[in-house]
């Protein structure tokens, strides 16, 4: 078990990635370019995890995994920054996001679903597919339910999060509702949604 930033020397690249290359591949408009200038100090390609650099087999879905360091000049970057880098570098990426002396690790399962942690994931698995899946599981912070794939689990998580947001909206609405009948209807809707979440 190796911390991502303690990978073997064979994986190390340490090359600076020019922002212009990200702009070109991500189709960045002038607003996004301005954000990069204001918020991103440096983008550095730290490591490449592949059968050529570590002792793992080639998976069927994941060609290789990159570790990209993004040094920031702001604690709370715009949400468009990392997805733009993801579009500009068409590989699976573990982002090491650095602000001052604090590093946060972030991975995107897809462009909408991301997971972050203060602790780097471990390199676990026998091929690139299983290594990437294990990184996602670690960053997600909980295991996969028995009988489910990672894809199914994340879809379930997304549905559950949407239900919880809906419950919170209805509860707020119910607190402000004056009419008893409407208040009761909202309470019934909330009860049914909570049962769905529990299932």
Among 67, 70, 87, 75, which Cα is nearest to 36's? Answer: 70
Query: Which pLDDT value is given to residue 1?
Result: 38
Query: Which pLDDT value is given to residue 84?
Result: 92
In a domain, 48, yes or no: yes
- Same domain for 11 and 76, yes or no, is yes
Mean pLDDT by 10 residues, the chain (199 residues): 70 91 86 93 95 94 95 92 91 95 92 88 92 90 68 76 84 87 87 80
Query: Which pLDDT value is given to residue 194?
Result: 84
In a domain, 57, yes or no: yes
Query: Which pLDDT value is given to residue 147?
Result: 66
- Same domain for 167 and 136, yes or no, is no
Give me the domain span that covers residue 25. 4-140
User: Where a domain ends, among 114, 140, 166?
Assistant: 140
- Same domain for 23 and 93, yes or no, is yes
- Same domain for 132 and 183, yes or no, is no
How many domains, the chain?
A: 2
User: What DSSP string describes 8-68?
Assistant: -GGGEEEEEPPHHHHHHHHT--HHHHHHHHHHEEEEEEEEEESTTTSS-B--SS---EEEE
Query: Which pLDDT value is given to residue 187?
Result: 86
């Amino acid at each position: 078990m190796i911390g991502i930033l303690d990978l073997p020397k064979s994986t190390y690249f340490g090359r600076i990635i020019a922002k212009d290359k990200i702009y070109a591949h991500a189709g960045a408009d002038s607003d996004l370019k301005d954000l990069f200038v204001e918020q991103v100090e440096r983008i550095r390609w730290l490591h490449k995890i592949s059968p050529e650099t570590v002792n793992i087999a080639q998976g069927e879905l994941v060609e290789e995994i990159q570790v990209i360091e993004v040094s920031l000049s702001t604690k709370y970057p715009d949400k468009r920054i990392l997805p733009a880098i993801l579009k500009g570098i068409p590989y699976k990426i573990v982002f090491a996001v650095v602000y001052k002396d604090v590093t946060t690790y972030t991975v995107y399962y897809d462009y909408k679903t991301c997971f972050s942690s203060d602790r780097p994931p471990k390199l676990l698995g026998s091929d690139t597919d299983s290594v990437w899946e294990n990184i996602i599981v670690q960053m997600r912070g909980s295991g996969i339910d028995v009988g489910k794939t990672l894809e199914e689990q994340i879809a379930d998580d997304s549905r559950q999060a949407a239900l919880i947001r809906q419950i919170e909206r209805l509860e707020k609405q119910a607190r402000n509702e004056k009419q008893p009948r409407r208040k009761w209807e909202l309470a019934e809707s909330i009860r049914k949604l909570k049962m769905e979440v529990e299932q």
